[in-house]
Amino acid sequence: MKIVVIQGPNLNMLGHREQNIYGAMKLDDIHAQMENVAKQNNISIEFFQSNFEGEIIDRLQECLGDADGIIINPAAYTHTSVAIRDAISALNIPVVEVHISNIYRREEFRQKSLTAPVCSGQISGFGPFGYHLALIALMQILAEIEAINKRKEAEKK
């Protein structure tokens, strides 16, 4: 099983920027924790971060046929990118959206996610722990998909 974690703009600055909102953990620390959980569950995990919308779209498209699931924090593009929304929508794999801060307690323009409606779910406001929650959620979603596929195969026989 392979999961791809896609991080949007400015997340490479975690640990430096607005620690009162995003905390002191760096992105590499979050990824190291996720990698430990993935290894414990025999999951291959890959990380990608870009400040460029087109690169995020390209990485999403590359997941088709290569990944079983995606965890994405589109960051500021959450509120503005119809293109990222469309890229997620075109995939036939589960996607969990994550936000470190509670976007619904922030400025009004941050309270609308264009991408969440085309994702399997959204986790918001739990700080860096939200990535751990997203990983658990995605593992559960993938286990359910596997169980359904096994049941369908058994019914064919």
**∠ Cα 80 90 63 (to 5°):** 95
Q: How many angstroms separate the Cα of 93 from the Cα of each of 13, 19, 40, 60, 90?
A: 29, 33, 22, 10, 9
132 in catalytic set:
no
77 in catalytic set:
no
Q: Which of 16, 99, 104, 132 is catalytic?
A: 99
Q: Which of 22, 31, 77, 131 is catalytic?
A: 22
Would you say 99 and 130 are in contact if contact means Cβ atoms under 8 Å apart? yes
51 conformational bin, left if phi > 0, alpha if psi -120 to 50, beta if neither: alpha
**Catalytic residue numbers, as ranges:** 22, 99
